[in-house]
Amino acid sequence: MAASDHLEQVHQLTDKIDRLCDVVRRLLDENRSLRTSQDQLIGERAALLTKNEQARSRVEAMIQRLKSLEHNA
């Protein structure tokens, strides 16, 4: 094998490594973005669960008041 063939193989390997590094960087950025989105969604879900529980409590309290009024009438 000639020296130029070896040099060409080295250039091809270098190009492949560069492309792989680009893919790794892109995946790391995407992963970071997805983790941030996941954290945000977890926070939003917790807030919605809290609001849902508060609404359920208010509805239950109103039902109890209506039952109380019904028995007193």
Residues whose CB is less than 8 angstroms from the CB of residue 27 and which lie 6 or more positions away in sequence, other chains included: none
Residue found under tokens 């000639």 = 2
pLDDT over 90 (residue 1): no
Q: 20-55 pLDDT, tens per residue?
A: 999 999 999 999 999 999 999 999 999 999 999 999
User: What stretch of H or E contains 2?
Assistant: none
The overall pTM is greater than 0.85: no
Give the pLDDT of residue 2. Answer: 82
pLDDT over 90 (residue 73): no
72 falls in which pLDDT band (50, 70, 90)? Answer: confident
63 falls in which pLDDT band (50, 70, 90)? Answer: very high
